[in-house]
Amino acid sequence: MKLDHIGIAVEDITESNKLFAKLLGKQPLKEEDVISQHVKVSFFDAGESKLELLQATGSESPIAKFLIKNKPGVHHVAFKVTDIHEAAKEMEAEGFEVITKPPKKGADNKLVVFLHPKTTNGVLVELCQEIE
């Protein structure tokens, strides 16, 4: 596995884009709405990986729920895999709880699954695979 991106929950993606553009000295690579997850996202190039900013677009969004419990900040860490179905099976066999079944279409043209933080030392872990 290789680090693909770090997801950061934000309250206002427009203001957060300005902040990270200033911090990184570059504009976002792209923005998109992920209707199925009720989020708007933007991606910044961060060398060999990316930063993903996530803003809730509705109260049913996982990001809205995260922000109720927490402050804006790191939401998840994502690792790129070549076969998401096989990777999910391997993670379950190793004792990790896969909470996204079956894999869902996520942002950045990827299929995604998440591993429950209670089985990953408190960190929400995403596995992602490019959709070909």
Instruction: Please give the pLDDT value at position 91.
Output: 97
Q: Which two tokens stand for residue 76?
A: 């998840």
Three-state SS for 17? helix
- In terms of residue numbers, what domain contains 67? 2-130
Instruction: Please give the pLDDT value at position 46.
Output: 93
The C-alpha angle with vertex 102 and arms to 100 and 34, in degrees rounded to 5, equals: 65
Tell me the average confidence (pLDDT) per consecutive run of 10 residues in the chain, 132 residues long. 96 98 96 93 96 96 95 97 97 97 93 97 97 89
Please give the tally of structural domains in the chain: 1
pTM (two decimals)? 0.92
Instruction: Please give the pLDDT value at position 36.
Output: 86
Query: Which CATH number belongs to the domain containing residue 55 in this structure?
Result: 3.10.180.10
Instruction: Please give the pLDDT value at position 4.
Output: 97
